[in-house]
Amino acid sequence: MSKTRLLVALSTFTLVNVVWAVSSTGTAHRRFPVSVTNSQVGIAPIKLREDRRGLIVDAWINNAGPFTVALDTGAGTSLITPALVQRAGLKLKRSKTPLRGGLSSTPIQSNEETSLSNVSLGFQSNRLPGTVTAAVVQTLPGSLDGVLDPTQILGSLSYSVDFQRSELMVLESRYLGNARTTNGESTVVRWIPESGGHRPFVRLADGRLALIDTGSAFGLAFSDPRAPKGKNPKAVRDLGGGSIQVREVAAQTVSIGSLVLRNIPTELLINSAPGTPVILGRRALNPFRVTFDKTSNLISIEAPSQTN
């Protein structure tokens, strides 16, 4: 598996409050065509279930299932358990590059991988194209059978995650094309390339890079030894079985392109692994719809009024 990395782990931190981020007011621009009702690639919209484990969906792999998997844009690769391998009759091979990473310094143990073919999401006939490589790990939190990175499993196809409707929609490649921001309630920004990976990073107005991470129940989360130590410490476990301490700090306001997100619940990550990025998790992204266009290197974020 080439340069397999997983710097952000699926958290067991419980989502408690839906956060309505307030957009800025700004000069209106040309409206971009991102509101859609039907996929044009023959893949039906995929209904999601959100719980403490993440965005959950039923999956069928190699005509076996259903399996319980989480869709995680922050994973960087797809992970499955030996139980799924056995039930689906998959063949294992030695990984070319060991899996490493996680929120904590505890390594994620995996030296085997397999090819996932005939993958369906939502219902068995809702088949995705192609074959994808997944790392095999001994256990996953919350009795999950797998963690699938949608950017990896969908290849060149674009997709949107609608938090208000709890739905993932698969779209045509270059779906956003040359779209630009419309107004202060939505924005289109560059997908910042990650060295050796494909995770979706955006640049905040203050210059920081932030990972859009549907696998995280955080709002805004970051590591900073200079920050106030916060309150209400909690332990958060990662995919490697290790844990870090998370403390609440004052809610923050961040800007992404023309969009301003105010009063985002903010967590400070204590003693996290080196290289852990700034995270924009589900508590910051709710109730927006986020569209990921890897081919055009663009990401759009739309407020609810723009998606109806």
> Of 101, 73, 103, whose CA–CA distance to 200 is shortest?
73
- Indicate the residue type of 80: I
Average pLDDT in the 161-176 region? 94
Average pLDDT in the 69-73 region? 95
Own/partner long-range contacts of 251-256 (Cβ < 8 Å, ≥24 apart): 251/219, 252/220, 254/204, 254/205, 254/206, 254/210, 254/220, 254/280, 255/24, 255/204, 255/205, 255/206, 256/187, 256/189, 256/202, 256/204, 256/205, 256/210, 256/301
Which range, of 22-31, 45-54, 207-216, 281-290, averages the lowest pLDDT? Answer: 22-31
Pick the CATH number of 174-307 from 3.40.50.1820, 3.30.930.10, 2.40.70.10, 3.40.30.10: 2.40.70.10
Backbone phi and psi for residue 198, each to the nearest 5 degrees, phi listed first: -135, 15
**Of 110 and 231, the one with more pLDDT:** 231
Place of tokens 């923050």: 252
Question: pLDDT value at position 59?
Answer: 98
Average pLDDT in the 31-54 region? 73
Reported confidence tier of residue 145, pLDDT bands at 50, 70, 90: very high
249-291 pLDDT, tens per residue?
Answer: 999 999 999 899 999 999 998 887 778 889 999 999 988 999 9
Portions of the chain given CATH number 2.40.70.10: 46-153, 174-307
Rounded CA-CA distance 65/286 in Å is 30
Instruction: Tell me the CATH class for 46-153.
Output: mainly beta
